[in-house]
Structure 1
Amino acid sequence: MIGSVVLAGYAALIGCAVPGPLARAKWALRAPKTAILVWQALMVSFVVTLALAWYHVTASGQHLHGLLGAAEEWLNGPDGEPPVHGAEGAGLLLPIGLTAIWPAACFVAVTTSARRRRRRHAELLDLVGRPAPELRAVVLDHDTPAAYCLPGRRPRVVLTSGALRTLSTAQLQAVLAHERAHLTGRHHLATAATEAFARAFRGLPLARAARESTAELLEMACDDRALRSSSARALADAMCEVAAGGVPRSAFAAGSAAVLTRLRRLLRPSAPLHPVAHCGILLLGLAAAALPYFMTCGPVLG
């Protein structure tokens, strides 16, 4: 009983208390990739903790390693006949499996729906867009300056004719670098993971904060990648020019997600996070994901 209470308290801590301070943390603006990994670790930790809490309620305090041993004995039983306690152990795995399957099913639903929308939009681009091989992009005839990328099996960067007329050469290169960073980083998978988690656990502060923060942090990570080949001024000016341009769902736009925060970050940059701080934060995220297992297998919750 004490095990389920401790695990439930840990799940409540991760799901309700941690997201607010993490979403406001200033260090995340200095290390967006690290912050994204921390959000993902917290989501994994919450699911694992919830599954193990259900296990403790069902198992009446059995050790998890004892359950795994029983499951192994069930698999290796003589003549394929499962021992009684092995069968019971396999049955105790059910709440763990169901807790993990639900967010996984949401992820499949989100990715399937997004893939369908991207396919329809790609077919439309094939009809009305014109290739621009020199830019490695597709151009749409529209007066509003806009730029976005469409991930998937046939990834592409899309620009409007308004963007080509409005942006200078330096600004255009900055926008293209930003969009290509989304594609090479496969950021649509991180977005799908946070969207699936938000669907699976509606109303949970962690789900809402992870989805919103990850969207902003992905844009900042792409800003950092674009700065390798472009100036901060060119990227900031381009961002302002294309900020009003609408984009389809399942696409990433250069001028989306917390534009003011990103502009302030570009024009008034802070010192990079120290490598030791990077490692420390990543270790904390790893510890958050691994702690539920040690809590369950340890002598305290036995």
Structure 2
Amino acid sequence: MIAAAVLTGYCAVVGWVAPPALSRARWTHRSPRAALALWRALMLTFVVSLAMAVYHATRSGQHLHGLLGAIDIWLGREDTPPAERGAEGPGLLLPIGVTAAWPLGWFGAALLRSRRHRRRHLSLLDLAARPEPGLRAVILEHETPAAYCLPGRHPRVVLTTGTLDALTPEQLHAVLEHERAHLRGRHHLSLALAEGFARAFPGVPLARAARAHTADLLEMVADDHALRSCTPKELAAAICGVAAGGVPQTALAAGGPTVLLRLKRLLRPRIGLHPVARGAVLLLALTAPLLPYFVTCGPTPG
């Protein structure tokens, strides 16, 4: 039970203490990819530590190497009669499996829900929009400037005629590169992951913060990709040009609620995160999911 208490405390730190600290960190906007990796690592280590806490609470007195041994037994790597193998392995694996399946189920539900919304919107676009092969986009007749993309099996970049009228060719190129970055990076999966985690653990500050910051950081990642082929001023002007346009619920747009934050970031001198600091963040993101095991269990005794 001591291990269960330690893991519960670790869950509390990750779920309640870490999110405000990371939310206030100033470096995250300088390296949005590293910040995204750290938010994902916090979500993963929260689930891992929660699953292990449930395991220790339900299998009182058994060290986690008992679970690892059960996996070997279940796979037939230990000298255990088949009758015992079938009962012991699933019995030990069940607490962790159920705990892990809870957020995974919500992640799948978020993916299915967004897919239904996209398919409904795509069917409307097929009727109302016209393809523009030169831009690799579809054009929707509407005077309000707006630009967004719909990811999935048949991705689309959608522009309104108001966007074509309002933006210069350079600004239009910046908007298109921003939207294509969303599609190439499959950013809808990251959004669904954060949404599923938030629905699985609605009372946990980490869930709310991860969902909000994931959306902001993904927009910054797409901005950084667009800046490879345009200037910050061109991209900032393009974002302002399409900021007022409404977009579907499941779309990823160049405008949106983070416009002011992104404009400040684009118009300030660009100072990237130091490589050593970025490496330390990525190392922490890689090791965080393993910390619950090493803190409470460690390797199997010889």
Is the CA contact 2:145–2:241 (under 8 Å) kept in the aligned structure 1? Answer: yes
State the partner residue of 1:39. 39
User: Which range moved further: 235-244 or 74-83?
Assistant: 74-83
Structure 2 gaps, min length 5: none
For residues 234 and 74 of structure 1, the distance between their equivalents in structure 2, rounded to whole angstroms, comes to: 59
**1:96-135, aligned counterparts within 5 Å?**
96-135=96-135
Task: Indicate how the Cα distance of structure 1 residues 79 and 293 shifts in structure 2: closer, same or farther if over 3 A, else same.
Answer: closer
Cα deviation digits, residues 124-162 of structure 1 (max 9, x gap): 111110001111100000011000000000111000001
Q: Which residue identity lines up with residue 172 of structure 2 in the other structure?
A: L
Two-structure CA RMSD over aligned residues (Å):
1.6
User: Which range moved further: 209-218 or 116-125?
Assistant: 116-125
Structure 1 residue matching 2:134: 3-state secondary structure: coil
Q: Post-superposition shift, 1:37?
A: 0.6
**1:64-75, aligned counterparts within 5 Å?**
64-75=64-75
| Number of equivalent positions | 298
TM-score (norm. length: structure 1): 0.95
Report whether the alignment pairs 1:197 with 2:194. Answer: no
Is the CA contact 1:144–1:245 (under 8 Å) kept in the aligned structure 2? Answer: yes
Q: Post-superposition shift, 1:271?
A: 1.0
Structure 1 gaps, min length 5: none
For residues 89 and 134 of structure 1, the distance between their equivalents in structure 2, rounded to whole angstroms, comes to: 58
Is the CA contact 1:148–1:252 (under 8 Å) kept in the aligned structure 2? Answer: yes
Q: Post-superposition shift, 1:67?
A: 2.1
TM-score (norm. length: structure 2): 0.95
For residues 78 and 245 of structure 1, the distance between their equivalents in structure 2, rounded to whole angstroms, comes to: 65
Is the CA contact 1:149–1:158 (under 8 Å) kept in the aligned structure 2? Answer: yes
State the partner residue of 1:229. 229
Task: Indicate how the Cα distance of structure 1 residues 228 and 75 shifts in structure 2: closer, same or farther if over 3 A, else same.
Answer: closer
Is the CA contact 1:52–1:296 (under 8 Å) kept in the aligned structure 2? Answer: no
For residues 157 and 229 of structure 1, the distance between their equivalents in structure 2, rounded to whole angstroms, comes to: 18
For residues 243 and 73 of structure 1, the distance between their equivalents in structure 2, rounded to whole angstroms, comes to: 58
State the partner residue of 2:84. 82
Q: Which residue identity lines up with residue 12 of structure 2 in the other structure?
A: A
For residues 4 and 165 of structure 1, the distance between their equivalents in structure 2, rounded to whole angstroms, comes to: 61
State the partner residue of 2:185. 185
Is the CA contact 1:58–1:92 (under 8 Å) kept in the aligned structure 2? Answer: no
Q: Which residue identity lines up with residue 287 of structure 2 in the other structure?
A: A
For residues 256 and 280 of structure 1, the distance between their equivalents in structure 2, rounded to whole angstroms, comes to: 31
Q: Post-superposition shift, 1:116?
A: 1.0
User: Which range moved further: 278-287 or 74-83?
Assistant: 74-83
